[in-house]
């Protein structure tokens, strides 16, 4: 009986996985679904969002992220943004990163509206990983791999003495 009780309580003793979301929010709504699902999982205690980063240079991307997490009341989640040239223009051919972001930002008036208000995605990544126990973090990459590339190629900094590949490992 004691073993059965221990097995039943085992799921309660396991900490919810820590989650970093790396998204190209803007062109398609798959990212909205992923961010909202993660927030709902956090509300249920099934995950802990420790950071969300935007992975294109489009200035409004992080504003859309802020609108979504603010809606859920998770205003302390650190946000970061890729600040390079890739994806900076709102349109490329028939593709637009501003399918709904301007409307989302205008409608919900988030606390953060653009990339000038947040640190780089690399800084947010390195800080979040350095502050987390080994093996506790899961990364959900939805879109471009600009930030992951920068993270893996990063050098030691004030957050960690480890190189990017070591920090991820």
Query: What is the tens place of the pLDDT at every residue in 43-70?
Result: 999 999 999 999 999 999 999 999 999 9
Which residues make Cβ contacts (< 8 Å) with residue 62, sequence separation at least 6? 54, 79, 80, 81, 112, 114, 115, 117, 118
* Higher per-residue pLDDT: 10 or 15: 15
156: phi > 0 → left, psi -120 to 50 → alpha, else beta; which? beta
- DSSP per-residue codes, 125-143: HHHHHHTS-TT-EEEEEES
**Mean model confidence pLDDT for the chain:** 90
pLDDT of 89 higher than 80? no
Q: Stretch 3-20: mean pLDDT, rounded?
A: 64
């Amino acid at each position: 009986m004691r073993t059965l009780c221990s097995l039943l309580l085992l799921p309660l003793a396991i900490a919810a996985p820590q989650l970093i979301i790396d998204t190209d929010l803007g062109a398609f709504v798959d990212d909205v679904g992923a961010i909202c699902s993660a927030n709902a999982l956090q509300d249920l205690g099934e995950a802990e969002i420790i950071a969300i980063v935007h992975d294109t240079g489009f200035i409004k991307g992080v504003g859309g992220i802020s609108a979504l997490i603010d809606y859920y009341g998770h205003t302390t989640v650190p946000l970061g943004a890729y600040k390079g040239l890739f994806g900076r223009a709102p349109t490329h051919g028939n593709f637009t990163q501003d399918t709904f972001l301007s409307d989302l930002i205008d409608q919900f008036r988030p606390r953060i509206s653009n990339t000038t208000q947040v640190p780089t995605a690399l800084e947010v990544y390195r800080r979040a990983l350095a502050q987390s126990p080994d093996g506790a973090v899961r990364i959900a990459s939805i879109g471009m791999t600009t930030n992951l590339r920068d993270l893996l190629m990063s050098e030691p900094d004030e957050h960690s003495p480890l190189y990017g590949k070591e920090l991820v490992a």
